[in-house]
Structure 1
Amino acid sequence: MTATPDVDASATATIHNPATGAVAGTVRWTDPADVPRIAAGLRQAQREWEARGAAGRAKVLARFAVWMGEHRDEIEQLLIKETGKSATDAAQEVPLLIMIASYYIKTMEKALAPETRPAPLPFLSIKKIQVHYRPRPVVAIIAPWNYPVANLLMDGIAALAAGSAVLLKPSERTPLTAELLLRGWIDSGAPEVMAIVQGAREAVEAVVDNADFVQFTGSSATGAKVAERAARTLTPISLELGGKDPMIVLEDADIELAAHAAVWGAFFNAGQTCVSVERVYVMEQVYDAFVDAVVKDVQNLKMGAGDGFDFGSLIDDSQVAVVERHVADALAKGGRARTGGKRPSGPGSFYEPTVLVDVDHSMDCMMEETFGPTLPIMKVSSVAEAVRLANDSPYGLSAAVFSRDIERAKDVALQLDCGAVNVNDVISNLMCTTAPMGGWKTSGIGARFGGADGIRKFCKQETVVVPRTAVGAGGNYYNNSLKALKRMNTMMTKLALARPKRTAK
């Protein structure tokens, strides 16, 4: 049996593997009273980090990416120990960070270069208008436990690229890999612009109070509390929150492909993924064939931590309890479990991969975020019904649409109320660092990634207007005679009403 570790400021705690109960390591919790000092040290170091310029910072990030590649096995073994992941699931996180670092190393100099903007009116052409991107000194990264490596630094790398220092607050459930990554940053010869605060609620509050920007990933309920805390100091935030991501299978879909995608999307990382497939709507013409294909796939899955397994344990027994409640509610209301439906005997916070059918929106498994290894599948009679049900949710993170007709699938995608839609695939938008990944409704505020915007979000915009010539300087100062005002009004009216010239065809 595993549970969230007790957090006592300045105390040392033992972290256990949720799959086996074995000791994964120890951590010393940070006294929240020390956070202002830690943030002040980062703020001081950040000045030199910013002064290096984008090219100088890119060299440091490149060394860190190399370190992560060289120490991948060490990171993944510790990741398995503190999360109970399978080796397959653990193997996804370091490559994602290296991919993100590689992208920003190549693009950060251009993304942060000052932008020259055109003059809005002819008489302002004597001015040169530039927008500069200045990093926010200390960016707080408050990360969840489901991907302790990836979620900790997928935004942290962009913040470092921007020229910010980063204050990391990993989940109290998975604090160990953060310490290893910080060691790697220092071992890479990087300056001390990365620090860690370990702890729970009080540590989060101290981090938010002492940051210049907060990136939070986690539940919608906790995200709302972070936003409320940040509002006290008008600290800008970006929130990537919960999801209940729908998948729609049209009658012309490749059923085998759709079934494989649904199984992987639902059970990858034991379903503990914000963009996992949490509910499926299938056209009645292909419903039975789809369910049969899904069940066949699920029956081949191997559950267990470490090597040789498809997915591992849940993070602790409290997460198992959520899954048990959702499954029990579905079964009590007429749903059926085609696979799984129970917790296996033996140690660890495991739950069998569970395919639920005969489900509807009266059931918790279709309306609440489960964050566990369940796959509820609902039959629908039309595309309109599928879209209506998919949008019938307080969440709006991502979705998937399967059809052999790509244009038809795109049309359906653009009717869904969410931040991203994958056509004939699942979760792949997480790899698209050139496009924004953000949620609608209670799934978040702002976005991560998004090309240049993924770096610029950690910057303040500063507009600098300089003269191109000394001619006319000060000509309008206190020039408020009635004649001058009438002349200005006439000119502005003509400019506003002027029609663009037609170009010859």
Structure 2
Amino acid sequence: MDERTNRTAQQRIEVTSPVDGRVVGSLDAHSAADVASIASRLRASQPEWEALGTKGRVECVRKYRDWLFDHNDEISDLLRQETGKSEHDARLELPFSIDNLNYYANNAAKFLAPEKPSPASALTRTRRLETVYKPYQLVGVISPWNFPIALSMFDAIPALLAGAAVVVKPSTVTPLAVHRMIEGWAEIGAPDVLACAVGSGGVGTAVVDNVDYVQFTGSTETGISVGKRAAERLIPCGLELGGKDPAIVLADADIDLTAQGIAFWGLVNSGQMCTSVERIYVEEAIYPEFVEALTKVVGGLRQGGEAGFDTDIGAMATESQVTIVQEHLDDAVAKGATVTVGGTISGHFIAPAVLSNVDHSMRVMNEETFGPVLPVMRVADADEAVRLANDSPFGLSASVWTGDADRGRRIGGRIEAGSVVINDGSAHLICFPVPQSGWKTSGIGGRFGGAEGIRKYTRTQAFVSHRVELAALSKLLWYPYSATKSRTIMRTMRFLGAGDLRRKLGK
């Protein structure tokens, strides 16, 4: 079971604040049987939802968008209290989620429209071809505790627009904002095709066991378990898993601007983001100046757990994550790293840290830290930086910082990661036309990617018919076989398929 939760005899989940330990709220926990019942109920409503057509579903989703805007303060406050995020970080999630909603609502009709491909060759030119997109009846979305709203909405909304019913299973560490958000779907009078299943690991397993497609975001270890379970049922899955994202800083980069950018993308949400900058490779010509600049930026950040906008860095969400960060810091220092700023720990608060003199013998350069730590390693040149960036089992995203964007693009093309951003961090997360996909152990499939971000929740169905009814031509392939039929077919295929006249004529 996740931390900071406690199931009482009444099967309630209590959610406590990582800032001060007070109880923020509680919810009824579901059982595996409850999940099966929810799934059955949603399946019963899904045909009506699909029958609304893309236009009707878009109208409903836009009505839901208005409800979300009207309840933004309530939901964001719940999110801040249960996650320990800063006020600013907490308030970003819903607007970015709505931006994604608008993108897919505005493009759903185009992305889901039937396609009419051209025949592959003259052999099938008399055929009319069509591909249509039919939704999976029930999609399961299992979302993590670090970005509960965004990583539920980013997947649930495209699935709904595709015509599927959706059950969302949030982390028991941070279920309150997601649960309240999903209540809004019923409050606008929408069809009963969106529900929340709250509970520990057994509930997640039950979701996988009852849906037709599962989208999971979380650790690589749990993702492997989800993938195995999905494979046993022969259902597709999308897995967005861990990362150890490298940033390569070239000697021609703007040092101050790069330090500010990397500080933000490495420390936003206290570094608890799969695409956080977790290791930094800097060409030796500017290494001392960059470490100094980054130390200055990080040293000026404000940390706290109170409401308001006087805080930059909030609390860590779970005690176990604090322990991991502590272990990584201790290991690095023991092996020769220098803490230039931060690193002190008090409860769930970790002062954001910069480490210099790091190398790949240290856990902080190899394992996912998922905390406010920025390790900076000196490299001889871009080639060494790329080699070290690729020396990882992860391949989620990366960034290259340089004064020459074209060179940055060329270097980025050598990095083994699903996304590469030039002179910025995880900006691809809000660029919905491009995919967010993981390579290596960072996942299977991806979210976003324009049409693919909504089509992934559908099954393709092909229709083939005659443009002109030519029964005689079809009968050439049908029984009974004969030498004449065979010669006619072979000669026709040779004439259509060969590349030169001699071979076309069989000479």
CA drift of 1:496 comes to: 2.5
CA deviation vs aligned residue, 1:81-138 (integer Å, no higher than 9, x gap): 1111100111210011110111011100011111001112223222111000000000
After TM superposition, list the pairs within 5 Å mapping 1:394-473 onto structure 2: 394-472=393-471
Indicate if the aligned counterparts of 1:10 and 1:30 stay in contact, CA closer than 8 A: no
2-side partners of 1:341 and 1:83: how far apart?
20
CA drift of 1:494 comes to: 3.1
2-side partners of 1:374 and 1:108: how far apart?
40
Report what 2:504 is aligned to: none
CA drift of 1:8 comes to: 6.5
2-side partners of 1:54 and 1:412: how far apart?
42
CA deviation vs aligned residue, 1:398-438 (integer Å, no higher than 9, x gap): 00001111110000000000000010000100001111101
State which drifts further: 70-79 or 300-309.
300-309
Task: Confirm or deny that 1:132 pairs with 2:127.
Answer: no
State which drifts further: 380-389 or 195-204.
195-204
Report what 2:98 is aligned to: 98
Task: Confirm or deny that 1:253 pairs with 2:253.
Answer: yes
Report what 2:505 is aligned to: none
Indicate if the aligned counterparts of 1:7 and 1:199 stay in contact, CA closer than 8 A: no
4+ residue stretches of structure 1 with deviation over 3 A? Answer: 6-10
2-side partners of 1:91 and 1:412: how far apart?
35
CA drift of 1:452 comes to: 0.7
After TM superposition, list the pairs within 5 Å mapping 1:222-237 onto structure 2: 222-237=222-237
State which drifts further: 53-62 or 4-13.
4-13
2-side partners of 1:339 and 1:12: how far apart?
42
Report what 1:503 is aligned to: none
Report what 1:273 is aligned to: 273
Indicate if the aligned counterparts of 1:7 and 1:200 stay in contact, CA closer than 8 A: no
Task: Confirm or deny that 1:322 pairs with 2:324.
Answer: yes
SS in 2 for 1:6: strand
Report what 1:393 is aligned to: 392
Report what 1:483 is aligned to: 484
Change (3 A) 1:275 1:499: farther
2-side partners of 1:188 and 1:297: how far apart?
45
CA drift of 1:493 comes to: 2.6
Task: Confirm or deny that 1:493 pairs with 2:497.
Answer: no
After TM superposition, list the pairs within 5 Å mapping 1:84-123 onto structure 2: 84-123=84-123
CA drift of 1:479 comes to: 5.0
Report what 2:333 is aligned to: 331
1-side partners of 2:8 and 2:258: how far apart?
47
SS in 2 for 1:167: strand
CA drift of 1:37 comes to: 1.4
2-side partners of 1:389 and 1:121: how far apart?
47
After TM superposition, list the pairs within 5 Å mapping 1:335-346 onto structure 2: 335-344=337-346
2-side partners of 1:496 and 1:405: how far apart?
48
1-side partners of 2:379 and 2:135: how far apart?
49
1-side partners of 2:211 and 2:407: how far apart?
45
Indicate if the aligned counterparts of 1:304 and 1:313 stay in contact, CA closer than 8 A: yes
Indicate if the aligned counterparts of 2:6 and 2:14 stay in contact, CA closer than 8 A: no
Change (3 A) 1:9 1:274: farther
2-side partners of 1:413 and 1:209: how far apart?
39
CA drift of 1:499 comes to: 6.5
Indicate if the aligned counterparts of 2:79 and 2:90 stay in contact, CA closer than 8 A: yes
Report what 1:311 is aligned to: 313
2-side partners of 1:110 and 1:44: how far apart?
27
Letter aligned with residue 145 of structure 2: W
Report what 1:238 is aligned to: 238
Letter aligned with residue 496 of structure 1: G
After TM superposition, list the pairs within 5 Å mapping 1:19-58 onto structure 2: 19-58=19-58
Indicate if the aligned counterparts of 2:6 and 2:12 stay in contact, CA closer than 8 A: no
Query: Aligned-pair RMSD on alpha carbons?
Result: 1.4
1-side partners of 2:484 and 2:373: how far apart?
75
Indicate if the aligned counterparts of 2:13 and 2:172 stay in contact, CA closer than 8 A: no
SS in 2 for 1:426: coil
2-side partners of 1:168 and 1:317: how far apart?
25
CA deviation vs aligned residue, 1:172-192 (integer Å, no higher than 9, x gap): 111111211111111222111
CA drift of 1:60 comes to: 0.6
Letter aligned with residue 345 of structure 2: R
Indicate if the aligned counterparts of 2:138 and 2:211 stay in contact, CA closer than 8 A: yes
Task: Confirm or deny that 1:166 pairs with 2:176.
Answer: no
State which drifts further: 182-191 or 309-318.
182-191
Query: Which blocks of at least 5 consecutive residues in structure 1 are unaligned?
Result: 501-505
SS in 2 for 1:26: strand
Give the percent of matched residue pairs that are identical in Structure 1 and Structure 2.
43
State which drifts further: 319-328 or 115-124.
115-124
Indicate if the aligned counterparts of 1:60 and 1:189 stay in contact, CA closer than 8 A: no
Letter aligned with residue 313 of structure 1: A
Indicate if the aligned counterparts of 1:88 and 1:311 stay in contact, CA closer than 8 A: no
Letter aligned with residue 27 of structure 2: V
Letter aligned with residue 267 of structure 1: L
Report what 2:379 is aligned to: 380
Report the TM-score when normalising by structure 1. 0.96
SS in 2 for 1:155: helix
SS in 1 for 2:68: helix
CA drift of 1:7 comes to: 4.3
SS in 1 for 2:234: coil
Letter aligned with residue 29 of structure 1: A
CA deviation vs aligned residue, 1:218-277 (integer Å, no higher than 9, x gap): 000000000011111111000000000000000111111110011001110000001110
SS in 2 for 1:399: strand
Task: Confirm or deny that 1:73 pairs with 2:61.
Answer: no
2-side partners of 1:123 and 1:441: how far apart?
41
Query: Which blocks of at least 5 consecutive residues in structure 2 are unaligned?
Result: 502-507
Indicate if the aligned counterparts of 2:139 and 2:167 stay in contact, CA closer than 8 A: yes
CA drift of 1:483 comes to: 2.3
Indicate if the aligned counterparts of 2:328 and 2:364 stay in contact, CA closer than 8 A: yes
Letter aligned with residue 195 of structure 2: A
